[in-house]
């Protein structure tokens, strides 16, 4: 096809779009211009489109689907709606993305999150920095590599495997872009990247290079991680051979799953200067392993410093340096550095300005709104979902509780304290271990069989959900007959008014429907092991509770 023919075809297709926009199309395909004013991309999306000249119109169509999903939750149009919006553009291959055929074609946003939440989050993480005016080649290479590796299918037999995978992929992409629909610059950058297949010079060469570099990074990271663990263990053994038991760091599950460490070693002098010589005025908490101080490093970075003073807890130090420095997620507290002194060790974290969840649930002068509680639950759920679906092995935290949930300046929640974490290698359903954790939050079945399993964390998280609902401690020792919080909740579920369980601090300002969803979810999390939901499912229900609550509270506010 020569250039004149291509240009003519593009004009015909674009004219068709202008006509349908004036008719009864349910989509708003008016994607704002960005950068140089052009939002065209003539890629064929890896052969999904039948003509390269359809690329820019297909991008507008995807944008319209994402825009619509925000209001309806539906991902694709049915055949009638699609014809109203596309007319003769259907010859480009758009018609493959039509609802009514079953599988991913009929998915809603909730279905996408429920079935492919991990793939969606991976795509989000690896594409979030793509920008036409930034380091495009590198970021696009990462984004495209993840897009290409997304293997999802709805198991239908009426279409080819590739087409099924493509339909499911596009359901993920529409859902992802619907969440950032106002960021048109980012959306167009991602469309440009994925639509062109990252063909800057030679697509195949670049994609292979990205894969090779990633593999090399993982290999080097593994070597560095193992070296770090061994080095710390040798230092500990040589210093106090008569008192210290060797840290249990020889498990293959600990060193094998982590990528290149980004935690740096910080000098002892820097640690003491940053905390004003471990001043009591800087003390912000204390755990089993030692005290935690707030501080400011020489570069102005505000940090929290855990001081490990008991040799018996050196295993905690080794485990956290090994794990937190390699596993990164926005809902996990970031380990910035570490320091190994002569008789003491330090872990340096990002500082979360609003302390921990326990302070806000049980503090007399601190109040969390209903929506804040839901947001905190969702953040923690996403952090646990990430750990449980970590690509090289499931990471079980083993100590989920309010004091280990830290809150940032905008109350974004982050899981902390990975000193008890365990890794379940690929192919294993559980690992055996001595019972560790905090009274009231430990899974009863784990106490019986010593099997560490993802459901161990789900149970603990269920207890935290009950506390977010009620504002109560796991056992109220101030009453005549103390009773576990989970038992109180089950009694109310059988024959009482569950709104009696609500935290008085909420002052009745919550969505009853949202409250019921969270209450039932908490009970299912604390039920029998085989009946507990996965964290994937937990996050889906929590996000539904937030949507319901926001709608209810907004309606209530408008009526007053």
Confidence of residue 22 (pLDDT cuts 50, 70, 90): very low
Beta bridge partners of 432: 451
Which residues are known catalytic residues?
399
Q: Angle formed by the axes of helices 203-239 and 314-324, to 10°?
A: 170
- The full DSSP string for 369-438 is -HHHHHHHHHHHHHHHHHHHT-TTEEEE-S--SGGGEEE-TT--EEE---TT-EEEETT-S-EE----S-
**Helix or strand (DSSP H, E) at 349:** strand 345-350
Half-sphere exposure of residue 485: CA atoms within 13 angstroms, side-chain side = 27
Q: What is the dihedral of CA 536, 109, 52, 24, to 10 degrees?
A: 180
User: Does residue 558 register a pLDDT over 80?
Assistant: no
The residue-averaged pLDDT of 462-478 equals 90
Q: What percent of the chain has pLDDT over 90?
A: 32
Residues for the chain: how many in total?
560
Rounded Cα distance, 546 and 536, in Å: 16
Domains and CATH numbers, the chain: 3-200 (no CATH), 231-350 (3.30.200.20), 357-559 (1.10.510.10)
CB 339 within 8 A of CB 271: yes
Half-sphere exposure of residue 223: CA atoms within 13 angstroms, side-chain side = 5
Instruction: Kindly report, residue by residue over 30-54, the tens digit of the pLDDT.
Output: 776 544 444 445 577 877 887 767 8
Rounded Cα distance, 237 and 249, in Å: 13
Structure tokens at 486: 């989970």
Q: Which of 102-116, 194-208, 375-389 has the lowest mean pLDDT?
A: 194-208
CB 345 within 8 A of CB 314: yes
Q: Which residues contact 69 (CB under 8 A, 6 or more apart)?
A: 75, 109, 174, 175, 178
Rounded Cα distance, 163 and 144, in Å: 18
Question: Could you say which DSSP state residue 74 is in?
Answer: B
Q: Which of 227-241, 490-504, 530-544 has the lowest mean pLDDT?
A: 227-241
| Higher pLDDT, residue 104 or 381 | 381
What's the chain's average pLDDT? 78
pLDDT of residue 379: 97
| Higher pLDDT, residue 99 or 558 | 99
Closest CA to 342 of 282, 290, 261, 269: 269
Half-sphere exposure of residue 428: CA atoms within 13 angstroms, side-chain side = 19
User: Does residue 65 register a pLDDT over 60?
Assistant: yes
Rounded Cα distance, 185 and 133, in Å: 10
| Angle at CA of residue 174, ends 172 and 179, nearest 5° | 100
The residue-averaged pLDDT of 16-28 equals 60
Ramachandran class of 125: left when φ > 0, alpha when ψ lies in -120 to 50, beta otherwise: alpha
pLDDT of residue 305: 94
pLDDT of residue 271: 93
Question: Could you say which DSSP state residue 526 is in?
Answer: T
């Amino acid at each position: 096809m020569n250039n004149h023919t291509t240009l003519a075809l593009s004009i015909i297709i674009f004219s068709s779009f202008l006509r349908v926009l004036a008719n009864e199309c349910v989509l708003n395909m008016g994607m704002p211009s960005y950068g140089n004013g052009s939002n065209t991309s003539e890629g064929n999306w890896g052969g999904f489109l039948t003509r390269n000249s359809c690329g820019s119109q297909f991008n507008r169509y995807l944008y319209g689907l994402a825009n619509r999903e925000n209001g309806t939750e539906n991902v694709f149009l049915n055949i009638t709606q699609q014809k109203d919006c596309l007319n003769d553009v259907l010859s480009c291959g758009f018609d493959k993305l039509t609802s009514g055929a079953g599988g991913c074609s009929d998915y809603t946003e909730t279905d996408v999150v429920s079935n492919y939440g991990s793939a969606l989050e991976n795509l989000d993480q690896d594409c979030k920095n793509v920008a036409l005016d930034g380091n495009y080649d590198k970021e696009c290479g990462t984004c495209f590599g993840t897009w290409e590796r997304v293997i999802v299918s709805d198991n239908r037999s009426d279409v080819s495997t590739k087409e099924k995978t493509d339909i499911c992929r596009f359901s993920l992409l529409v859902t992802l872009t619907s969440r950032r629909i106002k960021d048109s610059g980012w959306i167009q950058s991602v469309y440009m990247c994925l639509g062109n297949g990252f063909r800057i010079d030679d697509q195949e060469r670049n994609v292979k290079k990205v894969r090779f570099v990633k593999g090399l990074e993982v290999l080097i990271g593994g070597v560095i991680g193992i070296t770090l663990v061994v080095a710390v263990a040798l230092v500990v053994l040589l210093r106090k051979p008569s008192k210290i038991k060797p840290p249990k760091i020889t498990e293959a599950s600990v060193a094998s799953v982590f990528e290149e460490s980004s935690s740096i070693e910080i000098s002892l002098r820097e640690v003491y200067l940053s905390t004003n010589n471990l001043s009591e005025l800087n003390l912000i908490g204390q755990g089993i392993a030692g005290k935690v101080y707030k501080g400011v490093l020489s570069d102005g970075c505000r940090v929290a410093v855990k001081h490990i003073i008991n040799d018996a807890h050196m295993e905690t130090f080794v485990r956290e340096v090994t794990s937190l420095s390699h596993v990164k997620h926005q809902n996990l507290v970031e380990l910035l550095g570490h320091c190994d002194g002569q008789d003491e060790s330090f872990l340096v974290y990002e500082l979360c300005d609003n302390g921990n969840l326990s302070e806000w649930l049980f503090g007399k002068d601190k109040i969390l709104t209903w929506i804040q509680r839901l947001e905190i639950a969702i953040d923690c759920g996403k952090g646990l979902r990430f750990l449980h679906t970590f690509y090289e092995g499931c990471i079980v935290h083993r100590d989920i509780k309010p004091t280990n949930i830290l809150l940032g300046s905008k109350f974004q929640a982050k899981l902390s304290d990975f000193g008890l974490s365990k890794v379940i290698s690929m192919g294993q359903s559980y690992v055996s271990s001595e019972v560790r954790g905090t009274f009231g939050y430990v899974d009863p079945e784990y106490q019986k069989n010593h099997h560490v399993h993802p459901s161990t964390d789900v149970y603990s998280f269920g207890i935290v959900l009950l506390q977010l609902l009620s504002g109560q401690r796991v056992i109220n020792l101030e009453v005549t007959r103390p009773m576990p919080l989970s038992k109180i909740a089950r009694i109310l579920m059988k024959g009482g008014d569950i709104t009696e369980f609500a935290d008085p601090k909420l002052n009745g300002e919550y969505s009853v429907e949202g409250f019921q969803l969270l209450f039932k979810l908490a009970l299912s999390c604390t039920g029998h092991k085989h009946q507990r939901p996965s964290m994937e499912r937990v996050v889906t229900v929590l996000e539904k509770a937030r949507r319901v609550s926001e709608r209810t509270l907004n309606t209530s506010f408008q009526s007053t």
